[in-house]
Chains A and B, each alone.
Chain A
Amino acid sequence: MLAYLLMSGIATGALYAMVAIGLVLVYRSTGHINFSHGELFMFGGFIAYTFFVILGVPYFLSLILAVIGGFVLGVLSDRAVYRPLIKAPPLTMVLATVGFSFFLKGIARYFWGSMEGGDYVAFPAAMDPSPIPIGSINVFPQQLLILAGAIVFVVGFTIFFRMTRAGKMMQATSENPTAAYLSGIRVERVYTLTWGAGSAIAAAAAVLMAPMTLLSPDVGFQLLLKAFAATVLGGLGSMPGAIVGGLLVGILESLGGGYIHSGVQDVSAFIVIIIVLVLRPAGLFGVRNIRDT
């Protein structure tokens, strides 16, 4: 039982981690929580659905196209919605992201919402969906693909941030936007890039997850909640914290559901988060703000 629960927890946690990374990315660069991140995730999934299921494009090519589509959507959302509000109070930005999430949901519902006669569409697996034995347990090949995909994206983003000029500019902007601006970095362009990158990684997560569940216009909110929990657990703004937090949320849910009761599964992670935040308010990897007195 433990092996099954750990495997399921890690696969689900990897998804949460990927969504959380996008959330952290935007937060670190812009200082805003993107409440439309779940819907960007959902939209990426539907872009892939359009290519893979409707147009018959191969799965991996559909994944790449969805990532590109997600990036473009993130950039467009920055230019159309967020940039005009860049100097507005934080609450305005919160409302803008919430509003944008409803907008995306409406668009998705209009185009894909009743495509197969229900609220959802089926996204076929990339390979034979039958479970395969690994040691004493069975796993779905798609679960292994999720793990592999999550590792590739995390490593890819790490390399991007450490090795590329654009990544370093994003890092610098997140550390100190004013200093970055004074040193010649076009901060607004970095923000645009950040919204795009966050949306792109959400799209990748959606394409990996879609064959394991069904795709619907409402799928994003639940993922956003879990990803948000992961970022809070790991430490808001910490990239390693988002990864560890995501995995922990997945594993805790799985163990709680298996060993305590299935009714606990959905809330077990939140209970642990409350405990962690009481003991360590900045989260596991967050840096505690020291207030001058």
Chain B
Amino acid sequence: MKSRRHVLSTMSAALIASMCVVGAANAEVGVTDKEIKIGALGVLTGPNAKYGNTVYDGIETVYEEANKSGGIHGRQLVYVREDDRCQAAEAVGAAKKLIHQHKVFMIHGGACSNASLAAKPEIVATKVPWVITASTAPSLTDPVTPHIFTTMLAGWMESYAQVQYAVEKGMKRVAIISQHDNWGRSRYDPLMDAFKLHGIEPVANEEIVPDPADATAIALRIQAAKADAVILVAFPKAAVVAVRDMYKIGYKPFMIGGSTVGDVGLFTKNIGIPGSTDNLHAVSTIGYTADDPAVAKWKKLVEAKYSGDTFNIYHMFGIASGQFVVEALRRAGKDLTRDAFNKAASNLSVNTDVYGGPITCTPTNHQCHNTAAWFGLVNGTTKRLATTTVTR
């Protein structure tokens, strides 16, 4: 009798032990009782480092706030950064390291589009959830991959928003000043599509190099075309020279800038001539300027945590994206799995503290951010003037 009881208790202990082992084997990768490990894939060093590091500083600040308030269902968020140096080859290695070495639950990041596009096949093959923060290549989320989402405006959206805004403002004769390098092309081509969509032709279509010393010829040609609005698709350096030279010749059309000049106050300071941007409205991914009281809480947190950082637009990309991910993790429930996260994220709309509209994902649309905000100077201060929901 005693030996039978001993056998039964031994078998029960073995059964419980084996269940624990099976349970451990089925636990989701990167998730323990105490933490959720999330990987940052992006540029951390080199000339483009700020497009990565600052964004991830914003994300980590949101994570830290979530951790301070008890974490996600009791689990702390741990953020591991890997450098893709903004290069395709490096991005593949960085993605593999996060997935196979760090064994992260998901990836939250992605800045340079070329690097993100290169990393995508590995992420698709391993089915790791990926929320993209700053890459703008539309093919990252279109067509939909069930576990890939983006909280950034796609490249084409900015161009569509510019034409849409010109039409909304009643502009009849619209001209273009654009760069024709790789960056410029990724915006110029959709811009021309948007012109076709609205059934209008640009009255002048001028090209500017990224680093011009003078744009008087361009200003004169646009003036001769009698354009009442000019769409700018240019880096700040080129845009400064173009706007400055239009002002020089006394030509003051309505100017519709891209996100590169979204901080109209800073752009005006760069030109150095007060009044030269009075007619400029610029599109932006974010809904507030860095010194707007509405985002003061985040500015204070970021600058306290990262002493070298001055709060800017890139932090806000990270904050919006971080708030979306935190909410998706919460909704995925205590028994966190990748499938549960994907399901939660695919049916989620989050009003963040820093964007002009909600981040909304649906099962058929993982381009989750589609609200462009318009900024201009009001009494010398950059203010949000309007928002546009971009459609194609």
Contacts and interface: CB of A to CB of B under 8 A. Distances in A.
B209 A15 contact: no
B247 interface: yes
Contacts of A256: 217
B336 to A, nearest CB: 36
B221 A114 contact: no
* Range for the number of chain B residues in contact with chain A: 20 to 34
A138 to B, nearest CB: 5
B261 to A, nearest CB: 11
A213 B272 CA distance: 10
A157 B241 CA distance: 30
A211 B272 CA distance: 9
Interface string A261-279: 1110110000000000000
A4 B212 CA distance: 17
Given A114-B50, A138-B248, A122 B220 contact: no
Interface string A1-16: 1001101110110010
Contacts of A265: 207, 209, 217-218
By CB atoms of chain B within 10 A, which of A138, A214, A262 has the most?
Answer: A262
Interface in B179-212: 180, 206-209, 211-212
Interface in A98-137: 109, 113-114, 116-120, 122, 124-125, 129-131, 137
B362 interface: no
A130 to B, nearest CB: 6
Given A118-B236, A213-B241, A12 B220 contact: no
A212 B213 contact: yes
Contacts of B224: 1
A217 B48 CA distance: 12
B272 to A, nearest CB: 5
B269 interface: yes
A273 B212 CA distance: 20
Given A12-B213, A109-B47, A125-B272, A214 B237 contact: yes
A17 to B, nearest CB: 13
Interface-central residue, B180, B214, B240, B310, by most chain A CB under 10 Å? B214
Nearest to B46: A109
A72 to B, nearest CB: 26
Given A113-B47, A138-B249, A214-B240, A122 B218 contact: no
A260 to B, nearest CB: 9
Contacts of A262: 206-208, 217-218, 221
Contact of A120 (B216, B237, B244): B237
Given A5-B220, A120-B237, A263-B180, A209 B213 contact: yes
Interface in A233-286: 253-258, 261-263, 265-266
A188 interface: no
Contact of A8 (B47, B214, B272, B310): B214
Contacts of A117: 50, 266, 310, 312
B18 interface: no
A213 B247 contact: no
A280 to B, nearest CB: 27
13 contacts: A4-B220, A11-B214, A114-B50, A131-B247, A131-B248, A213-B211, A213-B213, A257-B218, A257-B221, A258-B216, A258-B220, A265-B217, A266-B209
